[in-house]
Structure formats: C-alpha cells, structure tokens
Amino acid sequence: MPDEVGPRDLTPDRWSEFPHTLADVMPAAGAALGAWATTDVTVPTAHTVVLFLVDGLGATLLDEHADAAPHLASLRGPTLRAGFPATTATSITSLTSGTSCGVHGIVGYSFRPDDDCRARGSRRVLNALRWSLDNADGPSALVTYPPALVKPHATLLDNLDDDGIAITYVMPGEFRGTGLTQLAFPAPGRYIPAVTPDGIRAAVTATLRRRSRRRRFVYVYFSELDTAGHLHGPGSPQWLAKLRLVDTLVADLADALPPDATLLVTGDHGMVTAGTAVDIDTTPALLAGTDAVAGEARVRHAYASSGAATDVSDAWSSTLHGLARVATREQAVEEGWFGPEVGRRIADRLGDVIAVATGDTVLVRSRNEPLESRLLGHHGAWSSAEQLVPLLIATG
C-alpha cells in the first residue's frame, strides 16, 4: 500500500488480524438455534436469539468511552470487521446474507447497478440506503431497480424461516416495505414498529414474555447513536448521551432474557470526525471524464465516460495524492477490497475508479449531497475506528 495509508488503517492485507466479520454473526446465531452446523464464532445454544444492531457502535469508540457504557464494556466478546465499505446498507446486507458485498451486491451507500438490475429507464445511481435515484432526495428507485433484481443472493433469514424458526423484526415503522428492507429482510415475520429506547424495550420484553414452542429469532435496530455521531461527531457530549442510552437499554434487555435466550449486540460500522475536506463538485479535475460519482464521503466510486477510464484514474490519483488510496476497478477486485469473491454482475457495479479516504479526509459533494457534506461524523473507509465493531453476548 502507498504512503498515505496510515498504520491504523485495516487495509485488505491486514484483514487476517481480524478474521471474522459481520457476515459471521448470522451463521453463529443460526447455529445457536440449531438451524445449521456450528461456526467459528460460538454463540450459546438457545431457544430464542435476540440480535440487536446498534447503528454506529464501533469497537474502537466503545473502548475509548467504556466509562460511559460500563455494561457494554463488561459484555465484550469478539471484535469483528464491519467489512468494506463500512456503511449501513452494505453492513446490514452482509449481516443478513452471511456474505461480503462482492456476493450480495450492495457495494456502498450509493452505486450504479448493473444492467441486469434495471427494470426500466436509463442506468442511474442507486442510493441503497434510501432506495432512491441519483441521491438521497431523489425519486423512488423501486420501479427502476426492483430489490428482487438487485439481490443475487438469498439471505440467511430465508433459511431460518425454512427451518421453522419464528422471526420478529423490531424496527422503525418507516422501514417497512422500503427497498433495502425488502432486499435484506425478505423472510416473513412479525413486524413491531419501534424507534425509541422505551419502544424497543417494550417490544422486545413483550416478545420474550410470550411463550413459544417454536424457536425464535428477534432482530432489533436502533439508529440514534449513529445520528448523533453524524450530526455532532463521535465522542461528542450528544453522542455520549446516546451511548449511555444504549448501555442502559442493553442492560435492561439482558435482565429480561429468559433462561433459554441469548442476546447478541453488534454495530454496522464505527465513525471518524471529518477533517480535511475535498469538494468533488468544485474540483474540475475530479469531474472531468466522469458520467457519475457515487459512494459517500469516505469511499467514492467514479464512473468514467467511454474511453476515459485511464484519464479519470490519473486525475483522481494525482489530485488525491496523500489524501486517499485510489485504484481502478480491476485493482480493487484483485486486492480483495470487496471480499474474496466478486461476481461479474457485482464487478459491473463498482466504479471504474475507487477512492478510499485516509486520515481524516472526506470527499464531499457540496452541490449533489449538501446535507451529507455538512455532517461531522463519517464512515466507510479502512480506519480501525470505522471498520471494527464489537460482538457482545449475554445469556439469560
């Protein structure tokens, strides 16, 4: 790797230091429920497994602020890599599919899907988190890019359902029916809308109190820690207040576990505070020869116009020297950035040129992404603070 990659960056050549990723969590949960054979990550055998995803809960951040989350710190288990890129849409799909994005296909916050995904219209950028076209505020992409066409891989939730395990989803009501939910959570189940800690606590404890002959899997999602980190910065007073809320909520859920239940707590990524900003939209050298720019502030995909890939690669490499690791699509696939296996369809979704910000650099787009460009906290790249997430285990 070049000089601009720092010693705390978990570049692909260092991934063996943390061999397990979010893709290993669902196999471990399924093994605990007896749905399939045991895995390298061990979870106690249980009749009920509750998997609590705390958006933005990074292992490095938790280590640094353990005094604000004593219960979480006491439960510390294996440290995992979120996977690359370390962003919510990718990580959640890795979690539920048990695969890296080179297989499941959600290769970033936004990207340009391959032609086989498109049901109508021209090829456009898909914001996978919002399932919108062009950017987060664009029109719905459900008709242009139906989730069933974008997803080339079944999820492990489908396998749990096939094995007769009852599934409960505790998530914000607004998530129901969205493109990402259809893709990452396709298995039928009971949906309990909940956003706040009180709502989540009530939904999970009521589910646990209900007797069931069937084995049960409960998925829970909480977003407020991530929101505080984006708006105020990770480690800020506002972020710490949300971390304390998470700590209390996890302690309450652990206390509510019956003897035959296990609680797993993890995150989808960590976060870093923005420093040096490069505005792609006001840097002509970074726009020349491109049809589209996707991704997010810490990982960008540049899609070149016909015949311009080499020029775009040269321009991005020279402009971002010392600020980002820049590679062609072929280099990124060969070096395993998106996992050990990348199918042809998935490779077509990657930019002709990919840039991974290093240090505290952010690659913003002030005109196309005005809200995202003003955020203080970001994630996606290779730093330990972004990549490492905890797996916390509590039993009844």
- Residues 46-80: tens digit of each pLDDT: 999 999 999 999 999 999 999 999 999 999 789 99
The CATH number linked to 314 is: 3.30.1360.180
> What are the pLDDT digits (tens) for 15-50?
999 999 999 999 999 999 999 877 789 899 999 999
Percent of the chain having pLDDT more than 90? Answer: 93
Residues 348 and 391 in one domain: no
Residue whose token pair is 């129901």? 176
- Could you give the number of structural domains in the chain? 2
| Whether residues 293 and 260 fall in one domain | no
The answer to whether residue 140 sits within a structural domain is: no
Residue 283 lies in a domain: yes
Rounded to an integer, the average pLDDT of 326-348 is 96
Tell me the CA distances in angstroms from 4 to 8, 143, 253, 320, one per residue in order. 11, 41, 43, 10
Confidence bin at 1 (pLDDT 50/70/90): very low
For residue 68, give both structure tokens.
């604000």
Taking residues 180-186, report their average pLDDT.
97
Are residue 164 and residue 236 in the same domain, yes or no?
yes
Give the domain range for residue 169.
Answer: 12-104+147-273+383-395
Mean pLDDT check: name the lowest of 149-158, 177-186, 274-283, 340-349: 149-158
- Position 142 in a domain: no
Confirm whether 305 is domain-assigned. Answer: yes
Residue 172: closest CA among 142, 202, 196, 206: 196
Q: Supply 71's token pair.
A: 């219960």
pLDDT, one tens digit per residue, over 210-247 is 988 999 999 999 999 999 999 999 999 999 999 999 99
Q: pLDDT value at position 121?
A: 86
Closest CA to 267 of 79, 108, 102, 395: 79
Residue 172, in any domain of the structure: yes
From the list 204, 212, 181, 165, the residue with the least C-alpha distance to 30 is 165
pLDDT band at 323 (very low <50, low <70, confident <90, very high): very high
